[in-house]
Amino acid sequence: MAKAAALSLFLLLLSFISGGTLKMVNGEKTWCVAKPSSDQATLLANINYACSQVDCQVLQRGCPCFSPDNLMNHASIAMNLYYQSRGRNHWNCYFQNSAVIVMTDPSYGSCTYA
């Protein structure tokens, strides 16, 4: 079991170092979310950019991901939609260093992150 864990860690590190994709590492899916330290202007710019490239309808009032209605939540959803649509490459989750790739599903309530 320790060998399997070591292999998983090695593959994850290799993916980061080689510039490879982070689509799935040992069956793990990844998501792109906004860094909590991001400022409001950056979050708004990220929403505007991502939503100009992908369909962000889930963020509209009355849709599953509208609440909570704040920039951090909306930016994370928009950035992840962009990241997922571009093949989950680490460079598609940069957003001027205001994003982070996570391995824990950030979905909540009826809002499902793709």
Number of domains in the chain: 1
What is the predicted pLDDT for the residue at 95?
Answer: 97
pTM: 0.77
Name residue, tokens 């906004």.
Answer: 34
What would the pLDDT profile of 33-59 be if each residue is shown by its tens digit?
999 999 999 999 999 999 999 999 999
* 11 inside domain: no
What is the predicted pLDDT for the residue at 27?
Answer: 56
What is the predicted pLDDT for the residue at 12?
Answer: 40
Domain ranges, residue 29: 21-102
Give residues with Cβ within 8 angstroms of 1, minimum separation 6: none
* 31 inside domain: yes
The CA dihedral of 89, 95, 100, 104, to the nearest 10 degrees, is: -60
Distance CA(86)–CA(82), nearest Å, equals: 6
What is the predicted pLDDT for the residue at 36?
Answer: 96
Residue ranges of the chain whose pLDDT lies below 50 = 1-26
